[in-house]
């Protein structure tokens, strides 16, 4: 009984706070509804199941000080962690997440039940109440501080990885960061060319390059206010979510590099040009590091001179696209002297291994 008394007290207190402050939507949970089918929670679109109960999970620890808001057009019943919490009449109801976590646990499983045989129609949002005068600035500062915390963690991880790589194989590290060789027309004997593409040391470099590039992409997208459609700025509300986005994007870029290596080696055999594959792929990894360092330097310049315009950060995506485009003539000149076939044969090989993949990546990710 004391839980219900405390819950009604929370509701009354929430309405008093709303009257004094400005409402800001932190996250819309309406698109994360689940249905329960065959002992598991599934997406509503993946099954044809008709159910009068929908489920949604909320981690209250990630939204400290925020509120859970329900908006429904018909009466519904709310269960939290399997316990009856409230009867939701038509309209809006708000719950303090800190108080809910103290009553139940920080991991909340919400079940919204319609008493008739119809799927509940309800909007669920995480909202915050801040000063009406400073609402936008406070929320932006809140996200910015969380991104700064994430940046410190990410920078520490990257620096640790580079130190470990330097201690384990300094010559290989210097070979990858030697950008002069990227533009050299002749390939000399070097450490990277004497190792296999899938050697453990090389795979570590691919992973570090993926982590560095993904971190810079997250930084650009954050300061460009979510202009990159693959990563919306609304996802930047907690350090945990940012770390998850960083790891996910790093794995995605790493997978693209592995896919590119398979494409290069497959078509090099098809075009009977196997000796070019190792040179081509290793120099592409150098290009990834060069793009990362170039973007990193530009970001530092932006911060030193206080550049905050959204368009300025969006232009960094254009820089990446142009550098990828200039890679085509660079690799063409590097392979031209080694090709025993005609120029048209080499151009056809580069269309399959470089031009088409670069156009597809740039089109999907940046345009």
pLDDT digits (tens, 9 = 90+) for 43-84: 766 555 667 788 888 888 888 878 888 888 788 888 888 888
Q: pLDDT at position 232, please?
A: 53
Reported as type and span, the H/E element at residue 36 is strand 35-37
At what angle are helices 135-168 and 200-223 packed, to 10 degrees?
Answer: 160
Q: Is residue 1 part of a domain?
A: no
Same domain for 105 and 157, yes or no, is no
**Whole-prediction pTM:** 0.59
The residue from 133, 168, 188 where one domain ends is 133
Which residue bears the tokens 């990834």? Answer: 288
Q: Which residues of the chain have pLDDT under 50?
A: 1-20, 131-136, 139, 189, 233-234
Q: What CA–CA distance (Å, rounded) separates 195 from 193?
A: 6
Same domain for 179 and 212, yes or no, is yes
The residue from 133, 157, 173 where one domain ends is 133
Same domain for 164 and 40, yes or no, is no
The residue from 93, 112, 133 where one domain ends is 133
Which residue bears the tokens 């384990």? Answer: 168
Q: pLDDT at position 269, please?
A: 84
Same domain for 257 and 208, yes or no, is yes
Same domain for 110 and 166, yes or no, is no
Q: pLDDT at position 366, please?
A: 53
* Token couple for 159: 């620096």
Q: What CA–CA distance (Å, rounded) separates 94 from 72?
A: 12
CATH of the domain at 125: 2.60.120
Which residue bears the tokens 């996802």? Answer: 235
Domain count, the chain: 2
Q: Is residue 23 part of a domain?
A: yes
Same domain for 235 and 118, yes or no, is no
Q: What is the CA radius of gyration of the chain?
A: 27
Q: What CA–CA distance (Å, rounded) separates 25 from 276?
A: 54
Domain span at residue 284 reads 136-365
Same domain for 113 and 147, yes or no, is no
209 CB-contact burial (10 Å; exposed 0-12 / middle 13-18 / buried 19+): buried
Same domain for 182 and 280, yes or no, is yes
Q: pLDDT at position 250, please?
A: 92
Per-residue pLDDT tens digits for 220-237? 888 876 656 555 544 556
Is residue 353 within 8 A of residue 267, CB to CB? The reply is: yes
Q: pLDDT at position 283, please?
A: 85
Please name the residue ranges forming H helices in 97-238. 97-103, 135-168, 170-176, 200-223
155 Cβ neighbours under 8 A, 6+ residues apart = none
Q: pLDDT at position 187, please?
A: 57
Same domain for 208 and 106, yes or no, is no
Q: pLDDT at position 210, please?
A: 92
Same domain for 81 and 188, yes or no, is no
Reported as type and span, the H/E element at residue 317 is helix 310-336
């Amino acid at each position: 009984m004391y839980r219900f008394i405390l819950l009604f007290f929370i509701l009354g207190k929430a309405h008093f706070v709303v009257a004094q402050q400005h409402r800001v939507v932190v996250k819309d949970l309406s698109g994360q509804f689940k249905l329960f089918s065959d002992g598991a929670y599934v997406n509503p679109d993946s099954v044809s199941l008709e159910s009068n109960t929908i489920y949604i999970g909320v981690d209250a620890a990630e939204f400290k000080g925020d509120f859970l808001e329900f908006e429904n057009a018909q009466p519904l019943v709310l269960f939290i962690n399997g316990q009856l919490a409230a009867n939701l009449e038509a309209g809006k109801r708000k719950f303090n997440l800190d108080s809910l976590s103290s009553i139940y646990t920080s991991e909340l499983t919400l079940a919204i039940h319609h008493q008739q045989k119809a799927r509940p129609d309800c909007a669920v949002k995480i909202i915050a109440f801040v000063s009406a005068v400073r609402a936008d600035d406070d929320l932006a500062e809140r996200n910015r501080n969380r991104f700064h915390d994430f940046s410190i963690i990410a920078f520490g991880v990257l620096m640790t990885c580079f130190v470990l790589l330097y201690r384990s194989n300094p010559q290989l590290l210097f070979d990858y960061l030697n950008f002069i060789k990227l533009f050299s027309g002749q390939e000399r004997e070097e450490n990277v060319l004497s190792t296999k593409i899938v050697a453990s040391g090389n795979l570590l470099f691919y992973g570090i390059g993926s982590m560095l590039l993904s971190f810079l992409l997250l930084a650009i997208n954050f300061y460009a206010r979510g202009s990159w459609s693959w990563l919306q700025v609304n996802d930047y509300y907690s350090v945990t979510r940012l770390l998850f986005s960083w790891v996910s994007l790093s794995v995605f870029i790493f997978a693209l590099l592995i896919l590119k290596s398979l494409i290069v080696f497959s078509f090099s055999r098809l075009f009977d040009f196997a000796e070019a594959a190792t040179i081509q792929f290793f120099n592409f990894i150098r290009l990834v590091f060069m793009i990362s360092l170039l973007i990193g330097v530009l970001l530092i310049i932006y911060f030193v001179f206080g550049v905050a315009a959204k368009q300025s950060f969006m232009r960094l995506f254009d820089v990446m696209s142009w550098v990828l485009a200039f890679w085509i003539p660079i690799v063409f000149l590097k392979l031209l002297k080694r090709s025993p076939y005609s120029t048209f044969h080499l151009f056809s090989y580069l269309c399959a291994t470089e031009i088409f993949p670069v156009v597809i990546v740039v089109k999907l990710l940046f345009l």
